A and B are shown apart, each in its own frame.
Chain A
Amino acid sequence: DAGVIQSPRHEVTEMGQEVTLRCKPISGHNSLFWYRQTMMRGLELLIYFNNNVPIDDSGMPEDRFSAKMPNASFSTLKIQPSEPRDSAVYFCASSLQQGSTEAFFGQGTRLTVV
């Protein structure tokens, strides 16, 4: 298996633009997580899905952020409109099930909003 696949790897966009990050979890994994990593705040959980259903979105910073998982093999994280403070590395991770100890991370998307 290729692991968790994220795209794009890098994104530079202007403030106010819409940004869409994409994730393909490992086949057979039932849980999917979106994290954001910055130097100041570390690795923060934004939202996670179990069996394509959002379970906890309490980490989503504000209404500008939204996430979807239309099927078991694809998820998106959208920021609209983007702001410079959204600049970070966004990771997608998947695990076999909700209570699994191990989460497998993708390579991340480095987002820069100028």
Chain B
Amino acid sequence: QKEVEQDPGPLSVPEGAIVSLNCTYSNSAFQYFMWYRQYSRKGPELLMYTYSSGNKEDGRFTAQVDKSSKYISLFIRDSQPSDSATYLCAMRSSASKIIFGSGTRLSIRP
């Protein structure tokens, strides 16, 4: 079993819809939870990160962590065609390497 599981998609939604992206994990030592966005033929870029449980909002993006369920989510409100990309969850414990999910390919239809 992988440490981090993520549905690869692809996920296609109409412009303006709310998007929900999710990951589950097995290592209870993970404390830092991140979402990276990767456009086609580019390297991943950090979008948001949270420490431990809770929510964090940044504009149209909300990251949510539920450590009791070992489940993290990224919500995108009012989705735009420019949000079309692959979204990778990532996580680590206090001093360990970053472990990435396999990524969910998202397409926003105009």
How would you classify the secondary structure of chain B's contact residues: helix, strand, loop or mixed? loop
The number of residues on chain B lying at the interface, defined by a beta carbon within 8 Å of a beta carbon of chain A, is 21
Which residues of chain A (38-68) have a CB below 8 Å from chain B?
41-45, 48, 56
Measured in the bound complex, the distance between the Cα atoms of B49 and A16 in whole Å is 42
- Determine whether the beta carbon of A99 is less than 8 Å from that of B95: yes
Residue ranges of B at the interface with A (Cβ–Cβ < 8 Å): 6, 8, 32, 34, 41-46, 49, 88, 94-95, 97-103
Measured in the bound complex, the distance between the Cα atoms of B103 and A91 in whole Å is 15
The number of residues on chain A lying at the interface, defined by a beta carbon within 8 Å of a beta carbon of chain B, is 21
- Determine whether the beta carbon of A91 is less than 8 Å from that of B43: yes
Residue ranges of A at the interface with B (Cβ–Cβ < 8 Å): 4, 33, 35, 41-45, 48, 56, 91, 93, 98-99, 101-103, 105-108
Q: Residue of B at shortest CB range from A105?
A: B43
17 interchain pairs, CB-CB under 8 A: A4-B43, A41-B102, A42-B88, A42-B102, A43-B44, A43-B100, A43-B103, A45-B97, A45-B98, A91-B43, A101-B32, A101-B34, A101-B49, A105-B45, A107-B43, A108-B42, A108-B43
